[in-house]
Structure 1
Amino acid sequence: MDIETFLSQRGAARTATLRGAGFSRTFLDKAVAAGRIVRIRRGIYCLPREAGVLGLALKHNALLTCLSAAPTYRLWTLHEPGPVHLSPGHKKTPPGTLTHGRCAHAAHAWLPVAGLADVLIHALWCLPALESLVMVQCAAQRGDVTLDFLRRKLPGNRNAPARAVLDNVVPRADSLLEVLANYHFRRAGLHVRRHVELPGVGEVDFLIEECLVVETDGNTHLEPRQVKKDRKRNNATLIGGRLGLRFGYDHVVHHPERMVADVLAVLELCRRGAFGAQ
């Protein structure tokens, strides 16, 4: 594994970690000189694309938080980070950044990054519901934080919107797309069951109103081997007496209203008997 790949999986790493992975000190010095990696402070390295925000936090004695801290904790996100989110304590942050309040929990052990609890709480206060939801979902299902803990940290009426986001976290989601689709289906008032095992089909992402199977397809579903598998599952779904719809990233993330409209249209046709025997 090359050092770019190694660091891309971690965001940043200490010298000891890199040496343990087989990268010698001489190699690190050459990689820095070549611009492949950046030494953001003594004994800590990252990729050039991460160095800007980490360096900004160090320069202003602040902590990255909210969306800007998501890569450090390998949290799901909907969009590429925009303005840098900082928790500066009592100091002012530079123009063009988004300022969050002081952190209430221990910061990252060796990076200028807020602790995970503060990162998630700041996200719940700052971001639109769906953007904060996917971050919390990722952390909660990994066991990095509990929903009860976050709820205790969000008391009172002013935190009601943040607690409402927590109500949409599910015990398990195999992808960001599942989280988003589940949110939109439930907001539409649909009866939804997730990860249902169907005879001859296997586990499906969603069974809606007990008659319609919905699958959310990420990039892996474009691979030839997976396409063949999906076709077999589609056929088995129909043979088993249920209809099926599939939605990709663009539908789920960028056009959820169309996805929900398609689901409602099929359900309405079912109610009218459009798919019954002639």
Structure 2
Amino acid sequence: MNMETFLGLRAGVTRTSTLRGAGFSRAHLNKAVSAGRIVRIRRGVYGLPREGGALGLALQHNALLTCLSAAPTYRLWTLNDTTSVHLSPGHKRAPAGTVAHGRCPHPRHPWLPVAGLVDVLIHALRCLPEAEALVMLQSATQRGDVTVEFLRRKLPGNRNARARAVLDSLIPRADSILEVLANYHFRRAGLHVRRHVELPGVGEVDFLIEECLVVETDGETHLEPRQVKKDRKRNNATLIGGHLGLRFGYDDVVHHPERMVAEVLAVLEQFRSGAFRRR
């Protein structure tokens, strides 16, 4: 394995000691730098050209990536890409333009400059808006990487009340980010919600709200022609079966949740007033 391949397996950056431990001599290192195949980020830290990124910044300042910046390492769901790097600098001052987090008492990533999953999730709970933290937590807990009970024990006291409230919004199973967020917003609106309900002639629906309104959340796959035909049949079967139906896409759920909830409430209000029973 050459040095570039080795660095590629380590997200593009690593320390001199790691390279030497893998069998690359000082002569190999100097030759690769002279040829421009790798670059010296700072003393003792080397990386692939233009691939250091946030990991290179963490190594450069002897810090750990955490919170939203560590989400890709652990393949966690996220809503938005961050323009700021979230770092745990230990006892040192965080570099300008970064978001500083506290120390990381739990085991870190075995070889990347990234905080351990537990610290990443706790930092996200304390730092991010509730919905953004929720989707990260949902992906980790439903994979079984960490339990809700374990995280709850790590968040005692009044200062962690908001974080514990996010844990209360986790659901046992979610097939997508959209499902997590829609459930969060519907319940915040005080609606009675049942998820993954099996309806005769329709199959499993995402949500049954107030026992009368079916709500489906549609990701990109629902734009495929075959899925569009399937969804159309399901919509018809929903109405024939005696339920109302609404569908919402990514933009509705992620960027306009207030509008989505308002439309659900409007349909429910019309149902209660008897609008759908008039002749």
User: Common fold, TM-score beyond 0.5?
Assistant: yes
State the Cα RMSD in Å.
2.9
TM-score by length of 2: 0.84
Q: 2:87 touches 2:98 (CA, 8 Å); kept in 1?
A: yes
Partner of 1:180: 181
Number of equivalences: 254
1:61-88, CA deviations, whole angstroms, 9 ceiling, x for partnerless residues? 0000000000000101110112100001
Structure 1 segment 66-77 matched on structure 2, within 5 A: 66-77=67-78
Partner of 1:144: 145
Partner of 1:12: 11
Q: Distance in 2 between matches of 1:270 and 1:170?
A: 28
Q: 1:14 to 1:62 in 2, by over 3 A?
A: closer
Structure 1 segment 1-278 matched on structure 2, within 5 A: 12=11, 48=50, 51-276=52-277, 278=279
Partner of 1:19: none
Q: 1:223 to 1:47 in 2, by over 3 A?
A: farther
1:47 to partner: Cα distance: 9.6
Q: Distance in 2 between matches of 1:34 and 1:228?
A: 53
1:235-257, CA deviations, whole angstroms, 9 ceiling, x for partnerless residues? 11011110100000111111111
Q: Distance in 1 between matches of 2:214 and 2:62?
A: 51
Q: 1:93 touches 1:99 (CA, 8 Å); kept in 2?
A: yes
Q: Distance in 2 between matches of 1:165 and 1:191?
A: 19
Query: What is the percentage of aligned positions where both structures have the same residue?
Result: 77
Q: 1:179 to 1:145 in 2, by over 3 A?
A: same
Q: Distance in 2 between matches of 1:47 and 1:238?
A: 58
TM-score by length of 1: 0.84
Runs of 4+ deviating beyond 6 Å: 37-42, 44-47
Q: Distance in 2 between matches of 1:46 and 1:101?
A: 29
Q: Which of these two proteins has the greater Rg computed from alpha carbons?
A: 2
In the alignment, residue 112 of structure 1 is paired with which amino acid? P
Gaps (5+ residues) in structure 2?
Answer: 1-6, 15-31
Q: 1:111 to 1:274 in 2, by over 3 A?
A: same
Q: 1:38 to 1:171 in 2, by over 3 A?
A: farther
Q: 1:236 to 1:104 in 2, by over 3 A?
A: same
Q: Distance in 2 between matches of 1:228 and 1:47?
A: 47
Q: 1:63 to 1:237 in 2, by over 3 A?
A: same
Q: Distance in 2 between matches of 1:257 and 1:46?
A: 44
Q: Distance in 1 between matches of 2:176 and 2:152?
A: 24
Q: 2:47 touches 2:56 (CA, 8 Å); kept in 1?
A: no
Gaps (5+ residues) in structure 1?
Answer: 1-6, 16-29
Q: 2:101 touches 2:123 (CA, 8 Å); kept in 1?
A: yes
